Amino acid sequence: MNRTLKPIFLFSFLISIFLPSLAQNCSTYTFTSNRVFSSCNALPYLNSFLHWTYNPSSGTIQIAYRTGLNSDGWIAWAINPTGAQMPGSQALVGVRQSNGSINAYTTPISNYSPSMSPGNLSFDVPNISVESTSSDLIIFATVVLPNNMTTVNQVWQQGPLSNGVPSAHTPSGPNILSRGTLNFLSGQGTSSGGGNSRTRRRNVHGVLNAVSWGTLMPLGAIIARYMRVFKSADPAWFYLHVACQTSAYIIGVAGWGTGLKLGKDSPGITYHAHRNIGISLFCLATLQVFALLMRPRKDHKYRLHWNIYHHCVGYTVIILSIINIFKGFDILDPAKKWKRTYIGIIIALGAIALVLEAITWPIVLRRQWGSSNKSQPGENGHGATQQATEQL
């Protein structure tokens, strides 16, 4: 059995090591003048990026919007307080002329054929500037968020100049898809073309971990703790337990890998407790995998010590898993039905465990009592203790 499991465990471990987690351009970009921003999103269209630092006490946000523009033209990033479309957007505009001169200003967009002339916005922008590099045009600004809203409708654009004045952008392709929503606290957003890939990865990460660490792992523990008490279930309980925990570990490694990828793609957004518990879970679960490969025989003198270690680490993994899944719910903030569903699963597993606890303890105690009675005078009862540990 152990020889059969070794390739599976080795494969799982290799997945965790070599799972790709390449960082996007957000995390590697360096601004001049030592400018640093706490968060960044790679926008899905027009080769654009939004960097920001949100200050909740003042309701302001420091932003740097940059896009690839190596010739003359204009770029814009806007917030629309009233809708998801371009009309009504309050835009920050950066312009680079053919002679290399640059300027930045604000302009409200009232229709689909904007004049792009300077004007005041519906909210304050205390400062705005633009910077040009060999490959990018970057708008820097401080924005006072309307009503201190943290989730906004955003629109970003770029287009050509006509006689030195911004003219209409291309009315098709990426230019008409470059809009969506953004939450400045979580970094989560969507685009007009569908769910943001990061949002999908966050959801996949949550589902994988809820199924693996949060459901299969405690289910495997229940199988091992209670089915082994019934002699008719031997050795079926062992194979079920190993299959359940192996599946949980493999799926959990995939969930852990998506978490690494999310961390790489979200510089400045770090959920320290969730991350640290996740790392601890992976390390402890990997120890459990390799401990199983070194499982002593039942009559081995170290079997009792191995059982104590295996149980303690296993229950620690389950407790940390459940805690971390609820922390994940708080981060993802999904529809309430998902959290309620998982709470229902945990309650069901807990109820099953309580019922089986009441059923199996009398059986174990009777066997331990019978084993003690059969012991010869002078024996210390170590065998009975080990038997009870094996059964529960």
Is the pLDDT assigned to residue 148 strictly greater than 90?
A: no
Q: Are residues 220 and 232 in the same domain?
A: yes
At residue 228, the pLDDT reads: 85
pLDDT tens digits for 263-296? Answer: 776 655 567 888 899 899 899 988 888 877 787 8
What is the mean predicted confidence (pLDDT) over 369-376? 63
Q: Are residues 222 and 306 in the same domain?
A: yes
Q: What pLDDT is attached to residue 113?
A: 58
- Its domain, for residue 251, covers 2-16+197-391
Residue 280 covered by a domain: yes
Count Cβ atoms within 10 A of the Cβ of residue 140 and give its class: 0-12 exposed, 13-18 middle, 19 or more buried: buried
Tell me whether residue 28 is in a domain. no
pLDDT band of 87, cuts 50, 70, 90: confident
Q: Residue range 366-379: average pLDDT?
A: 63
CATH of the domain at 279: 1.20.120
pLDDT at site 338 = 85
Task: Verify that 295 and 163 share a domain, yes or no.
Answer: no
What mean pLDDT, rounded, does the chain reach?
Answer: 80
**Shared domain check, 330 and 347:** yes
Residue 115 has a pLDDT of 65
| pLDDT (0 to 100) of residue 197 | 57
- Asked if residue 177 and residue 247 are part of one domain, the reply reads no
Number of domains in the chain: 2
pLDDT at 385 over 60: no
d(Cα 2, Cα 293) in Å, to the nearest integer? 6
Report whether pLDDT(323) > 90: yes
Q: What pLDDT sits at residue 131?
A: 93
pLDDT at 269: 59
Final residue in a domain of this structure, among 180, 195, 210: 195
211 and 183 assigned to the same domain: no
State whether 124 and 249 are in the same domain: no
For 88-109, write each residue's pLDDT tens digit.
889 999 999 989 899 999 999 8
Q: What confidence score (pLDDT) does residue 15 get?
A: 40
Question: What count of Cα atoms within 13 Å lies in the side-chain half-sphere of residue 5?
Answer: 21
Report CA dihedral (204, 194, 50, 60) to the nearest 10 degrees.
Answer: -90
Q: Which of 277, 218, 225 is nearest to 248 (CA)?
A: 218
pLDDT score at 27:
64
One domain, residues 218 and 231: yes
| Separation of alpha carbons 102 and 110, rounded Å | 24
Residue 336 domain-assigned? yes
DSSP state of 173: G
Share of the chain above pLDDT 70, in %: 81
Q: Are 335 and 287 in a shared domain?
A: yes
Q: pLDDT value at position 156?
A: 92
CATH number, domain with residue 138: 2.60.40.1210
Q: Is the pTM of this model over 0.75?
A: no
End-to-end CA separation in angstroms for the chain: 22
Q: What percent of the chain has pLDDT over 90?
A: 27
Give the pLDDT of residue 371: 64
Which of these three, 171, 195, 219, is where a domain ends?
A: 195
**Cα pseudo-dihedral 307, 312, 315, 321, rounded to 10:** -130
Residue 24 lies in a domain: no
Of the three residues 195, 221, 246, the one that is the final residue of a domain is: 195
Same domain for 340 and 218:
yes
Of 84 and 11, the one with more pLDDT: 84
Q: So what's the pLDDT on residue 267?
A: 54
* Core vs surface per residue 279-308: b (16+ CB within 10 A) or e: eebbeebbebbeebeeeeeeeeeebbeebe
Question: Based on the domain organization, do 118 and 102 belong to the same domain?
Answer: yes
pLDDT score at 189: 65
pLDDT of residue 16: 42
Could you tell me if 358 and 266 lie in one domain?
A: yes
Mean per-residue pLDDT for 133-161? 89
